[in-house]
Amino acid sequence: MLYCRCAYAQVVPQEVKDGVLRHLCASGGAFESVADLCEMSARRDPRMREIASGAGPLKIVACHPRAVRWLFHAAGAPLPSGDGNGSSEAAFVNMRALSTEEACAAVEPETLAG
């Protein structure tokens, strides 16, 4: 799971970001936190390629799925599309559109499949 702090764009409500981060930390589950995917994409950070090509399902907790897909594409690291060739499509939790409670429910382990 990848959690974006959206530190620079300020498009995700602060209370949602804080609540989801607290929930992830308290859950004891594995996740990676990045300061800002927009900034990483602008710098074409090689870490984005590593994330996109990682094994297993990927859930990204950030903002709008179309924006996140574009950020990875712009960084030269397109996300898996679930094209039937063994790759599984990335799943998204849109903190910009969900309440804290909804976003926290969406990051529960049993929701990782989709």
pLDDT one-digit tens code per residue, 29-49: 999 999 999 999 999 999 999
DSSP for 78-92? PPP---SSS----EE
| pTM, full prediction | 0.88
Please state the domain extents for the chain: 2-103
Average pLDDT of the chain to the nearest whole number: 90
Q: How far apart are CA 23 and CA 68, in angstroms?
A: 22
pLDDT of residue 114: 43
Report whether pLDDT(83) > 60: no
